[in-house]
Structure 1
Amino acid sequence: MSSSSSDENDEIEERLDDIIEDFIDEIYDDIVEAEPIPQRTRSYTERHREGGQHQLSNDYFNDDHSIYSIQTFRRRFRMNKGLFIRIVDGLEQFFPFFQQRKDATGRWGLTALQKCTAAIRLLAYGNSADTVDEYLRLGESTALSCLHHFTDGIIQLFGDEYLRRPTAEDLQRLLDMGEKRGFPGMVGSIDCMHWEWKNCPTAWKGQYARGHGKPTIVLEAVASQDLWIWHAFFGLPGTLNDLNVLDRSPLFDDLLEGRAPRVRYMVNNHMYKLAYYLTDGIYPKWSTFIQTITLPQSPKQQLFAQVQESIRKDVERAFGVLQARFAIVKNPVRTMAKEKIRKIMRACIILHNMIVEDERDGYSMRYEISEFEEGESSRTSKVLNATPTLNEIPTILNNIFPNRNDLRDRQTHERLKNDLIENIWNKFGDED
C-alpha cells in the first residue's frame, strides 16, 4: 500500500510541475513577446549638401568674384590655390571615392572639393571631425572617411615624388648650399620630434611613455635650408632616444647598398667622399655626423660652434613649420589605429614638401647658389656617377661603396671637424 501511494504522489507532483511550467510560458508569451521589439533606427539629417558646395565655390573657387582673396585662401588652406586644385584634380581622377556620384534616389553626392576641403581643414586645424559639418555639410563619420581616403590618396599619388631620396641633381644643389654656408659636403641636419598619442592603448603606454610622461611616437627627419624634408622615419615608441631611433633607421641603407649617388668634396685641401649631417650632441662621432663644440676655447672654435648651431636649426625650423601648417601634428593625436597615425604623418610631410616646392621660387634659393651655376671653377663639392663605369670599377668590391666602418670612423670625423673649423674661420672669420 505504501509503495503504490508513493508512486501516485510522484505522478501528481510531476503533473503539477508541468501545469506550472505551462502557465508560466503562457504568461511570458502574453506579457513579454506581445511587446514590440525595439528596432535600432539610424537618424538622418538633411544637410543640404548642394548648398554647402555652392557656398564653398562662391567663397574660394569662383574665378570671377570669389568672396575671399588668394591670401586668405593661402592662410586657411595652408597652400596656394593652384596647388590645391592640382591635388583635387589628381585625387578625383584616380580615386573613385572623390568622384561625385548619384545615390539610389538619383541625387548627386558630395563633390571632390567638399571632401578635400574637409580633409585639409582637419589636418590644418586639428579639430574634431564634426567641426566641418556646419560649413561643408557633411557628417562626422563622412569627414573622418574623407580624411583617411585623402591621406591614402596623397601617399599613393605623390609619395614617390615628394618623399624621394635625393637624386644626383638634388644632391648637387644640397652640396652647393652647404658649401655656400661654409660646410662643404653637408647635405642637411637631422633630429627627432615626438608626437603625443592621447588615446594610446593602455597595454602599450609603458612602451610609448617615459616614466610618468605621456605616450609619444617618434619622427626622425633630415631637412635642408629650404625646409624640404628629405628623410622621414616615423612610428617608433617614445621611450627610444635619438640613438635608439638611429639604430633602427634606414638612413644609410641606400649608401651602404650602392643606390645613393657618390660625392666628393674638398675641405682645407683635404678630399672626402662621404657627405655628412649636422646634429646635436647626442649623436655619435661618426664621419657622417658633425656636432657643435660644447665648450669652445679658441675664437675659431667659438665661430664654428656659432655657425654650426645656427645651420643645424634647419631641421628644428622644419618641425616648427610642419606643426604650424598642420595642427593635427602639433595636437595630441586621438585615433587609436597606429597605421592611420602613420599615414597622417606621412601625408602631412608630403604636403609640406609640395608646398615648399611650390613656393621655392619665392624663397629665392637659386640666389644662394648662383655663383656655382656660372661654372665649375669655384665648386669643390661634386656628385659623381651614381654607379661606377667599367673603368672606375676597382678590383676589390669593398672599395666601390663605403662600409659601416667608413661611416663610423672616428678619426675621419675628427679630421673633418678640424678642417671645417679652419674653413669656417677662413670664410667668416674676417667679417668680425
Structure 2
Amino acid sequence: MNKPLFERIVSTIKNGVPYFRQRRDATGRLGLSALQKCSAAIRMMAYGCLADAMDEYLRLAETTAHKCLEKFVDGVIDLFGDVYLRRPTAEDLQRLLNIGEHRGFPGMVGSIDCMHWEWKNCPTAWKGQYSRGSGKPTIVLEAVASQDLWIWHAFFGPPGTLNDINVLDCSPVFDDILEGRAPRVSYVVNGHQYEMAYYLTDGIYPNWATFIQPITLPRGPKAKLFAQCQEACRKDVELEDERHTYNFYEPSEFYHGEGSGTSQVDLSYSTDRQTNLHNLMGIRNAVHDPQMHNRLKKDLIEHI
C-alpha cells in the first residue's frame, strides 16, 4: 500500500470513528494514536499476525489489537462501503461509458484482470491446490477497475492454481447481464450500433462480445495504434507502479453525461424481466458471440 492511500485511510477512520481519536487518560498522558491502531489492524489483516505480536512494534496489548481490528473493519464498511465495491447504478454506467468514449473506446466500462496474492500462512494441507509453478501458495483476485481506480467488482479467494479463464467460469461478473438485471446500453462504433458493453482484457481471455483484447503481433499502422491505445487503457486495472506513465482524466467531467458522445444508458429500461432458461441461454449466447467480438474489434480499430 502506498503512503498517500494509507494516510487517507487513517485520516478518514480517525475522523469518522470515535474509537480511533487520540485521548488523554486521567493522568493527562496521551493514549494510542490513530496511526498505531490502524497500523495494527492492517498488519493483522495483511500478514495474518497474531494480536499479541502487536505489542513488540506498536505497543498494543492483545485485547486492544483485537478491538482495533474489529473497529477498523466496521469503520471501513461504514465509511467506504457506499462508494467502493458496489455495483454501478445506471448513472455510474453512463459516466463510465462517457469516459470510455472520451478515451477512444465507445462502449468500454472498465478493465478486467486477475492477480495472484501470496498466502504466507496457507495451511500445509491446502498448499498443493493453492501453489503454482513457483511453489508459493497464492489466492486469486479478479477485479474490474475504471479509469479513476474505482474497483466495482472483486471476486476473491479461488485457488492459486487457477488462471484467468478458470476464475471467469465461476465469477459472478456477468450475473446481472445473464439474469436481465443490467441496464440496457447502446453506442456507435464506426457507424455500427452495439448494445452490449465490454471490458478491456489481456490476451488470455476468450473472444467474447464483452471482451476486447490487444493485438499480439500488430501488422500495419492501424493495428499498432490500436494495440498501443488498448494496452494503455487496460493499465487501469494493473498495479499503480506499472501505470505511472499514463495520463489520467478528471472523472468529474463525465458525471452528468456532457458531450456529444453516442454512448447511452436507457434509464427507463425495466429490469423486472422473468428469469428462465430460454432468456438465460439467449443472453449467454450473445455474451459469448465470437462473430460480434470480431466485428466490434474491427470497428474499434477503424474508429481509433
TM range (shorter): 0.7 to 0.9
Alpha-carbon deviation of 1:150?
1.7
**Change in 2 beyond 3 A, CA 1:181/1:241:** same
Counterparts of 1:288 and 1:149 in 2: how far apart (Å)? 40
Counterparts of 2:193 and 2:52 in 1: how far apart (Å)? 59
Q: How many residues align?
A: 297
**Change in 2 beyond 3 A, CA 1:77/1:183:** closer
**Change in 2 beyond 3 A, CA 1:200/1:121:** closer
Stretches of structure 1 that go unaligned for 5 or more consecutive residues are 1-73, 322-361, 425-432
| 2:252 counterpart of 1:366 | yes
The structure in which a higher percent of residues are helix is 1
Q: Which shows bigger deviation, 229-238 or 252-261?
A: 252-261
Deviations 1:256-310 (A, max 9, x none): 1222222111101111111000001110000000001111122111111111111
Instruction: Give the partner amino acid of 1:87.
Output: I
1:14-413 to 2 correspondences below 5 Å = 75=3, 78-80=6-8, 84-92=10-18, 113=34, 116-119=37-40, 122=43, 133=55, 137-139=59-61, 142-155=64-77, 158-211=80-133, 213-317=135-239, 364-367=250-253, 369=254, 373=258, 375=259, 378-385=260-267, 387-388=269-270, 403-413=283-293
Q: If the length of structure 2 is used for normalisation, what is the TM-score?
A: 0.81
Conserved 8 A contact 2:101-2:108: yes
**Change in 2 beyond 3 A, CA 1:144/1:421:** same
**Change in 2 beyond 3 A, CA 1:301/1:248:** same
Alpha-carbon deviation of 1:422?
0.4
Deviations 1:136-156 (A, max 9, x none): 642356335523542244236
% identical aligned pairs: 61
Conserved 8 A contact 1:121-1:132: no
Alpha-carbon deviation of 1:365?
2.9
Conserved 8 A contact 1:286-1:408: yes
Instruction: Give the partner amino acid of 1:274.
Output: M
- 1:328 maps to which residue? none
Counterparts of 1:146 and 1:75 in 2: how far apart (Å)? 20
- 1:331 maps to which residue? none
**Change in 2 beyond 3 A, CA 1:220/1:370:** closer
Counterparts of 2:121 and 2:85 in 1: how far apart (Å)? 28
Counterparts of 1:382 and 1:414 in 2: how far apart (Å)? 22
**Change in 2 beyond 3 A, CA 1:389/1:371:** closer
Conserved 8 A contact 2:196-2:209: yes
Stretches of structure 2 that go unaligned for 5 or more consecutive residues are none
| 2:298 counterpart of 1:423 | no
Secondary structure at the aligned position of 1:79 is classed as helix
Secondary structure at the aligned position of 2:81 is classed as helix
Conserved 8 A contact 2:38-2:68: no
Over aligned residue pairs, what C-alpha RMSD do you find?
4.1
Counterparts of 2:21 and 2:125 in 1: how far apart (Å)? 40
Secondary structure at the aligned position of 1:146 is classed as helix
- 1:23 maps to which residue? none
Alpha-carbon deviation of 1:313?
1.1
Secondary structure at the aligned position of 2:140 is classed as strand
Q: Which shows bigger deviation, 157-166 or 288-297?
A: 157-166
